[in-house]
Amino acid sequence: MMHVIDRVFLTWHSEAAVAAALPSGILFWSCLSLPFGIVSYSNAFVAQYDGARQPERAASSVWQAAYFAIACGIMLALPAFWSAWLFRVIDHLPEVQKLEVEYFSWICLGATPALLSAALSSFFSGRGQTGLVFAVNAASMLVNAVLDYAMIFGWGPIPAMGMAGAAIATNLANVFAVVCFIALLTRHDARVTYGFWKHWRFSRLLMKDLFKFGGPSGLQMFLDVAGFAAFMMMIGWIGQRELAATNIAFNLNTLAFIPVIGVGIAVSTLVGHRIGEGRPDIAEKSVKKGFVLAGGIMLVCGAVYVLAPQTLLAPYEYGAHREAANIVPTGTESERTEDFAEVRSVVIVLLRFVAIYSFFDAMVIIFGSAIRAAGDTVFSMLVTFACAWGLLVLPTYLTWRVLGKGNEGALLFWCWIWCSIYVMALGFIYYARFRGGRWKTMSVIEPQ
């Protein structure tokens, strides 16, 4: 939701800013996704160790994830120094390229708090204390929203920093989340019941297990995000308006995607607990109930995408008119209003694609979370690689080469057709794997 807020405010800033936000943001997530997937997999370890009544191992697992998060966060700051070269190679329009470099350079410096927040939150989410995780993330989202407005547009002594301000605000909000999680880890249950602060030592066995099971999970996330990053870069070759419309469509897709990701985390936690207890039959029931909930969310959101797109676009349109009134003086009122009207008409069509594939996205998230929580991570990695690059990236590239310049409208819609096929195929494959039942015999923890 932090990135959603970033992009809403950047829509108010300029069309070039919102066009630049998603490519630079998703390139950062491509770099972050491999360690993020590994770190996040500590949720499965905490859940299974908690289910197996081994609290000290649950605490130690989180420490290993935290060590890995800090090491990777430091290394992921390095791409910031090569950002100008990276976006020259991608070759978007000069105005967009300049803003992409600015955003990417700053957001890379926040990799450590982003990863560390994920590691520490797994101690709570893996034990089912999702209310605490929600409270911390809601508070950090509010911090991000306030800082976004202040740093993008300027407020009091804070100068207007545009794209850089959006990235810095997100980084500071993640730092706030880390501080909150550390404070929660000083509570009685973490200190006494789990001995969190006593089991801080490096464990070669647990780190090896984290890489063994979390490594394929991280690679799966990397291949998925990198595929979408490549997809977005090719959309940028079509034109700035098409890139801005795609950015807004994916931004609105996030409104349905994020709650279902939450259901996926719940399913992952429940499956981990039941596998740890040796009760996979109960885990299967949890997954089915989770899919009913997630599928229902996606169907409702899909209906809103089709029936009320104007309502969803109201905050963006308000910002466009606000900018046109010279709050952010980048163009005349008629120019900005006309520009956004053209983008809006494209977004309305793209939201119909989102409505079509959203239900299948629920299948991907729920059934994928279930089998990965049990330890079936290698299969997820291989399937994601085959689908992301065989059904999304390569067909999109070939379509761009065949249609070329002068067919921007048809080219954009064909790209979204491939995106929909990719999500739908992945949903059916994960469902088939879940139905096969092999995950029921797996475990990521050592036998007692």
Per-residue tokens: 354: 């989102």
- Partnered with residue 155 across adjacent β-strands are 158
Q: Tens digit of pLDDT per residue, the chain (448 long)?
A: 777 777 777 777 776 776 677 778 778 888 888 899 899 889 888 988 888 888 899 899 999 999 999 999 999 988 888 888 878 887 677 777 888 888 888 989 999 999 999 999 999 988 888 889 999 999 999 999 999 889 988 887 888 888 888 889 999 999 999 999 999 999 988 888 888 999 899 988 889 988 888 888 888 888 888 888 888 888 878 877 888 888 888 888 888 888 898 899 889 888 988 888 888 899 999 999 999 999 999 999 999 999 988 888 887 776 555 544 444 444 444 554 556 677 888 889 999 999 999 999 999 999 999 999 888 889 999 999 999 999 999 999 998 888 766 677 788 889 999 999 999 999 999 999 999 989 998 877 766 5
Sign of the Cα torsion 347, 235, 409, 418 reads: negative
Give the global pTM: 0.73
Angle between helices 162-184 and 111-125 (to 10 degrees): 40
Beta carbons within 8 Å of 161's beta carbon, 6+ residues apart = 151, 152, 154, 168
In the chain, where the domains are located: 2-441
Per-residue tokens: 345: 């008409």
Per-residue tokens: 36: 């993020």
Q: Is 160 helix (H, G, I), strand (E, B) or coil?
A: coil
Rounded Cα–Cα distance for residues 44 and 59 (Å): 12
Task: Find, among 18, 62, 26, the residue nearest to 44 by Cα.
Answer: 62
pLDDT recorded at residue 328: 43
Instruction: Burial-class residue 72 by CB neighbours within 10 Å (0-12, 13-18, 19+).
Output: buried
Q: Is 158 helix (H, G, I), strand (E, B) or coil?
A: strand
Beta carbons within 8 Å of 375's beta carbon, 6+ residues apart = 44, 213, 439, 442, 443, 444
Per-residue tokens: 13: 């800033």
pLDDT recorded at residue 320: 53
pLDDT recorded at residue 325: 46
pLDDT recorded at residue 448: 57
Q: Is 155 helix (H, G, I), strand (E, B) or coil?
A: strand
